[in-house]
Every structure is written in C-alpha cells, then in structure tokens.
Structure 1
Amino acid sequence: MNRKDADARAEVDTNVDLAREEMGRKVQQERQSMDHKLMQERADMDLKLRLQRADMDNMVREERENMDQMLKQQCDNVDRKIKEECDNLDQKLKHERQEMDRLIVLERVQIDSENMQARVEMDKKVAT
C-alpha cells in the first residue's frame, strides 16, 4: 500500500502542479487582458480629453473673436460719434467766424461812415 499511496501522491502532486501551471497561465492571460483593457481605456480617455480640449479651445477662440468684433464695433461707433461732433464743432466755428467777419465789416463801415461824416463837418467848419 505504500507504493500505491506514493503513486497516488505523485499523481496528486502532478495534478496540483498542472493545475498551478494552468492557473498561472489563466492569471497571466487575465493580467494581460486587464492591462490591454486599461491601456485601451486610457487611450479612449486621452482621446476624449483631447477632443474636449479642442472644443474648449474653439469655444474660447470664437468667444474671443466675438469680443474683438464687439469691441471693434464699439470703437467704430465712438470714432464715428467723435467725428460727427468734430464736424459739428467745425461747422459751428465756421459760422461763428463768418458772423465775426460780418460784424467786423459792419463796424468798419460804421467807423468809415462816422469818419466821413466828421470830415464833412470839419470841411464845412473850415470852409466857413
């Protein structure tokens, strides 16, 4: 019976060794499968993040372009208003100068008339 027990033990040991090897292969395959799955998930996540980043960059760029356009329009409006105000002031100044020139001419005519009148009276006094 000793021999039989020894053979049975050897067979059990062999079966245990074979089962260990099989279990080791399965564990290794499972690890490889998990590693592959994790790498794929990481690649998918990286791609998703890159796409989100690109979307965010596009949104920021579009928002910046919109803000630039709004600021340009506001600046154009301010420039237009300033030009209109300057044109109005130039017109007003031109009219005021014309009025001033007219008043100066009238004043000169008045002075010339008074001088002429004074000469006529002086000539009359001298003649008499």
Structure 2
Amino acid sequence: MGKTIVFYGVYQIAIFAFLSLFDSARKDSVLLKIKLVKIGILRSEYNKPFNDLEILHNRYTTSNLLINKVDKSDIDEIYGNYQQYIEGTIDKEFYEFYLKNKLILLEDRYEYYDLAWRLSLILRKCK
C-alpha cells in the first residue's frame, strides 16, 4: 500500500510538471503572436512598415526547428494579411479589423492556458 501511494505521488508530480511546462511553452508562443498583432496595429495606425513580421515569417518558414502547426498557421495568416494590405488587395479598415479581431482571439487563448483545470488530464481531455 505504501509503495502505491508513493508511486501515485510521483506520478502526480510528474504530470503536474509536464503539463505546467507544456502550457508555459504554449503561453510563450501565444504571447509572441499577441505582441506581433499589437505591433501590427500600431504600425498600421501610423502607416509604418512591419519589417519585424517579415523577418519572423522567414525564420518560421525556413527553420529546421519543430514548430507547432497552429503557430506556423497563425504566423502565415498574419503575414498573408499584411502582404495583402501592402499590395492593396485589402484596405486599411479591413486590415485593422482583422488585427483587432485576431488580438481578441489570441488574448482569449492566452488566458485559457492560465485556467487551473488545465492541470488535470481528465478535464483536459473532456474539454
């Protein structure tokens, strides 16, 4: 009985550590995208170029690192909308609406990783 309790305790600590690290990495990546969108909004308001986005997009598309598909998709989407704005395919109003809407979605995702129930495997699978 004692070994079972010790094993269960070690198991719980390992799960807690793994999920905490995983969620921290996801929060970090979402925070980067929030920063990009906020910079995009600011640059759009003052009609300034967004060179940082091109550099980041190039790094994501040419990197050999393991990059989350959702992160890559979000960066591609943000970059694609920026390119359409620069080319004149979409107007400033639509571009700013897109950025502000994306910001709301990303901030919601960021807050999602702070929820305490995320540290439970069962609740994580049910949600």
Q: TM class, shorter-chain normalised?
A: 0.3 to 0.5
- Answer with 1 or 2: which has the greater Rg: 1
Using the size of structure 1 for normalisation, the TM-score is 0.33
